[in-house]
Structure 1
Amino acid sequence: MIGPHVSKSGVAYPDDLVLLKRIYDQVCVERGIARGSSEASDLAIEAMKLFSAGIFDEDTICRQLRHR
């Protein structure tokens, strides 16, 4: 899932943001989280924290966010 152009440093580049947005949207739908809600904001923060911690795999991020 991760290409050679994807950040290994925790810095989110445009392709990384597309990935994180896709994950965010998917988890929001699955969990019934309303856009603009505090829960949605918390989810976005958690997604960025995981990415910044060096977790770049889409499936891993999704699993982590589903169980928070």
Structure 2
Amino acid sequence: MDDELAMLTRVYKAICLERGIPFDSPRREKVAAHIFMLFMNGFTDEDELLFTMRNRGPLVPPYQTADLAQVR
């Protein structure tokens, strides 16, 4: 389990870094949730997760992040 958590963390950090998502952005939560959902649905290989995340559109467009922050 520790290996899986470390792998998910690497994927999460790589995607956030590549997309330029700031540490305090609500978009990070969406990225983490989506990676975990993919993992729970059988995407258990690091390269497979990275490929899938890199080849999809934005989870939350940047112009919507202000609205998400206000909802909380």
Same fold (TM over 0.5): yes
Question: Looking at both structures, which has the greater relative contact order when contacts are Cα pairs under 8 Å and sequence separation is at least 6?
Answer: 1
Shift of 1:52: 0.3
1:38 correspondence with 2:36: no
What is the RMSD of the two structures over their aligned residues, measured on CA atoms? 1.0
1:20 correspondence with 2:8: yes
Within 2, Cα distance between the matches of 1:35 and 1:45?
A: 15
2:38 corresponds to which of 36, 50, 53: 50
Within 1, Cα distance between the matches of 2:52 and 2:17?
A: 15
Within 1, Cα distance between the matches of 2:51 and 2:21?
A: 16
Structure 1 or 2: more helix by fraction? 2
Unaligned runs of 5+ in 1: 1-12
Shift of 1:36: 2.9
Larger Rg: 2
Q: Normalising by the residue count of structure 2, what TM-score does the alignment of the two structures yield?
A: 0.71
Q: Normalising by the residue count of structure 1, what TM-score does the alignment of the two structures yield?
A: 0.75
Unaligned runs of 5+ in 2: 58-72
Give the % identical residues: 34
